[in-house]
Amino acid sequence: MDIAVKKVELIEWLVRLQDEKMIHQLEKLKSVSIRDEYDLKIPKTIKDVKAKLDQSQKDLNSGNIHSQQEVEAYFEKKVTQ
């Protein structure tokens, strides 16, 4: 089954959900998921920090960067679509 279809089915189920206990459990799951994603992106060791710095330098050297204005314009366009 396509992921988009699964998401829609979950949204439809969630809209009809009346069980507060289940909603609370889903909120906790969401919170943990967001925290886990954030934790994966934070360097844990000096080696990880150096690797991120090296990647940043490579991005700068290759021109793979965007100005603040470009980023804001990109998201503004996404929000207004």
Residue range(s) defining the domain that contains residue 34 = 3-80
Alpha helices in 1-81 (DSSP H): 3-16, 20-41, 46-62, 68-80
Q: Give tens-digit pLDDT for 8-48.
A: 999 999 999 999 999 999 999 999 898 888 888 888 899 99
Domain tally for the chain? 1
> According to the model, what pLDDT value does residue 35 have?
85
Would you state the pLDDT for residue 39?
A: 84
- What does pTM read for this prediction? 0.47
Phi, psi of 22 (to 5 degrees): -65, -40
Residues 6+ positions from 66 with CB-CB distance below 8 Å = 74
62, two tokens: 């290759």
pLDDT at 55 over 80: yes
Contact 17, 23 (CB under 8 A): yes
Give the span between the Cα atoms of 49 and 56, in whole angstroms: 11
